[in-house]
Amino acid sequence: MELVTPSIGLVFWTTIAFFILIFVLGKFAWKPIMQALAEREQSIEDALSSAEKAKEELTRLNNESEQLLKVARAERDTILKEAKQLRDNLVADAKGIAQTEANKMIAKAKVEIDNQKIAALAEVKSQVANLSIEIAEKVLRNQLADKAKQEALVADLLKEVKLS
């Protein structure tokens, strides 16, 4: 029966040992360990949540920059388009102006040419008239020595004049 009879000595020492353990370990081991564990868990949780936040922030920034890029691209496109339009307009305008200018110049040149032509013709005509008169004078002077010849000449000349 010794096996199942608790001995007072061991009861006494076990009680003392247990209370020493619970007080010393409770104060100097369990308390700091539990505290450290709780703190570490808290810090890990904080780190995780802040990482999550950072990730969210990053995606937000990414989205934002993408949006910005999109807007910028669209703007660039419109600017380019406008520039092209402008260039086309400018070219077209320039062409029109050049054309009208050229037309004007051509018209002017034509007028000038006509004027010159008229002037030249007039001069030619007067030259011809003068020459005809001189020739007529010389012929007349030669022909007029003979009356009959004079008349025939006059008649021929007249004929010629009418022809020209």
DSSP assignments along 31-73, one per residue: HHHHHHHHHHHHHHHHHHHHHHHHHHHHHHHHHHHHHHHHHHH
> What distance separates the 2 farthest-apart alpha carbons in the chain?
200
CA-wise closest residue to 157 among 139, 145, 130, 142: 139
Q: Is 48 in the site for another protein (CB under 8 A)?
A: no
Which position has the token pair 């520039």?
83
- Comparison of 36 and 122: residue with beta carbon closer to another protein: 36
Minimum gap (Å) between residue 72 Cβ and another protein: 44
Q: Is 49 in the site for another protein (CB under 8 A)?
A: no
Size of the site for another protein (CB under 8 A): 35
Between CA 133 and CA 161 the distance in angstroms is 11
**Which listed range, 10-18, 50-58, 88-96, 106-114, lies at the site for another protein (CB under 8 A)?**
10-18
**Which listed range, 21-29, 49-57, 91-99, 111-119, lies at the site for another protein (CB under 8 A)?**
21-29
**Which listed range, 38-46, 87-95, 107-115, 130-138, lies at the site for another protein (CB under 8 A)?**
38-46
Q: Is 51 in the site for another protein (CB under 8 A)?
A: no
Residues with Cβ within 8 Å of residue 33, at least 6 apart in sequence: none
- Comparison of 34 and 90: residue with beta carbon closer to another protein: 34
Helix, strand, coil percent values for the chain (each to nearest 5): 95, 0, 5
Minimum gap (Å) between residue 45 Cβ and another protein: 13
Between CA 37 and CA 74 the distance in angstroms is 55
Interacting residues toward another protein by CB under 8 A: 1-15, 17-18, 20-22, 24-26, 28-34, 36-37, 39-40, 43
